[in-house]
Amino acid sequence: MEPVECFAHKKQASTIYMSSALKSAIKFPNSIRTNIHIKENVCIIPITLGVFLAGFSHHGPLLGPRTKLFEQMSLAGEELGFETIFFGHQHVHLEQNVVHGYLYKHNKWVQKVGPIPPVIYNRLPNRKIEHHPQVGKVMKGLKQKSSFFNDGFFNKWEIHEKVMKDTDYSFLLPETTLHPSKQKIQSLLTKYPLYIKPVHGSVGKGIVQCTKLENGELEVRYYIQNQAKVIRYEEDEAFFQQQFPNGFKGYVAQQAISLIQKQNSPIDFRVHANKNDRNSWEVTLIAAKFAGKGSLTTHVQRGGSIHTLEELFSAEEAKRIQTKLSSLTLKLCQGLERRMAHPVGEFGFDFGIDQEGKAWLFEANSKPGFHVFDHPSIRKKMKHILSYPYRYGFYLHNQKVNRFS
């Protein structure tokens, strides 16, 4: 925010004039219809950010359990001079260049009809919705009309390959095999326990953990309807036939890491990184995740819990972990972004640290979940973290204005 000197016009008190130098400095377009807000001695000229999502409800809160979070996001944008319109594919009329969306204003949701926003933040909640033909058609149209960021969910194997191609951080990856054969899985199990994961999985769904015991039995852990199950097989073939009768196409087999523990529970770390208004990456959040009792993973949806580093480690150790993970995260963001075809405004990384102190990268997410905000201390930072889509949106907006000015 820059202070500027203003003069009043005696005969036209409702008119605001700006010099050509100021217009150029703030990249103000030649022609625009907008609502200008005067707050004390500050003039706010809003930019509209569109949030593209799904799950609108006609009964109860507009966006279901995510409603409060998106209300906070809207307030964060308001403080930065943004108006936020939330909409789904059914609200978009590409031919008319119009969106029938929703605003959160004065503590309530109101409908708004307006032009397709100049910048759109993709927060579709899952792959199934993202791959729906109608949604895909609308997304394609929006990308042609707007600066659209966070193109889609990541494929685990594609991200693995992108990381493997860069020697600066390929050392972070556990050994991972795509579409493994039975023989490959048996070979890997002689070296270490394995996780077998669906390539397109999320929040721990479909994961199976396999461990070869000293007596030759195969111990298998998995979920059925959110209930953890443990089965031991005397023969590997019995496991293959019962759990994967159609083989392992669409799965990866990944080396299981012996993670550091607290209170007899393994810990991994969620790190969020966001683009700012200078098109630079910032680490905005680091949290530790406990595995739930009997759980295969630390996902909150599977009974895991969120903690700050300071809750679990000494001040010195927390600082050391924070420094290590922040440095790795910024390198990963820069490297992955170079290999992306579309603008990305955020990443979520799941790291582990083993008993020897080595860091490992388990997953990269293009749309990191918001479950970390369930923790009271992290919730206090929520509005600040949710301001970053606006910061990056401001950068994208200015880039677009510069191209056409």
Q: What is the mean pLDDT of residues 116-133?
A: 95
Residues 246, 264, single domain; the answer is: no
CATH classification at residue 347: 3.30.470.20
pLDDT tens digit sequence for 199-225: 876 656 788 999 999 999 999 998 887
Residues 272, 346, single domain; the answer is: yes
Confirm whether 22 is domain-assigned.
no
Confirm whether 379 is domain-assigned.
no
Residues 137, 45, single domain; the answer is: yes
Residues 238, 262, single domain; the answer is: no
Asked which of 255, 286, 317 is the last residue of a domain, the reply is: 255
Confirm whether 400 is domain-assigned.
no
Q: How confident is the model at residue 27 (pLDDT cuts 50, 70, 90)?
A: low
Q: How many other C-beta atoms lie within 10 A of the C-beta of residue 302?
A: 19
Task: Provide the residue range defining the domain that includes 291.
Answer: 156-173+258-374
Residues 114, 82, single domain; the answer is: yes
Residues 133, 51, single domain; the answer is: yes
Residues 243, 204, single domain; the answer is: yes
Residues 77, 134, single domain; the answer is: yes
Residues 95, 118, single domain; the answer is: yes
- Between 146 and 369, residue with greater pLDDT: 146
Asked which of 233, 255, 277 is the last residue of a domain, the reply is: 255
Confirm whether 300 is domain-assigned.
yes
pLDDT tens digit sequence for 106-122: 999 999 999 999 999 99
Give residue 293's pLDDT. 61
Give which of 228, 188, 332 is closest to 272, Cα–Cα: 332
Confirm whether 208 is domain-assigned.
yes
Confirm whether 15 is domain-assigned.
no
What is the length of the chain? Answer: 405
Confirm whether 393 is domain-assigned.
no
Domain count, the chain: 3
User: Mean pLDDT lowest for which of 88-97, 155-164, 265-274, 346-355?
Assistant: 155-164
Residues 163, 284, single domain; the answer is: yes
- 381-to-73, 163, 282 alpha-carbon distances in Å: 12, 30, 14
Confirm whether 11 is domain-assigned.
no
- d(C-alpha 72, C-alpha 340), whole Å: 29
CATH classification at residue 43: 3.40.50
Asked which of 204, 228, 255 is the last residue of a domain, the reply is: 255
pLDDT tens digit sequence for 381-399: 999 999 999 999 999 998 8
- 291-to-272, 296, 403 alpha-carbon distances in Å: 19, 7, 48
> With pLDDT > 90 as the criterion, what percentage of the chain qualifies?
66
Hey, which of 1-10, 99-108, 159-168 has the most confident mean pLDDT? 99-108
Give which of 241, 243, 351 is closest to 298, Cα–Cα: 351
Residues 32, 60, single domain; the answer is: yes
Residues 140, 274, single domain; the answer is: no
Q: Is the pLDDT of residue 140 over 90?
A: yes
8-state DSSP, 201 = -
Strand partners, 114: 99
Q: What is the pTM of this model?
A: 0.83
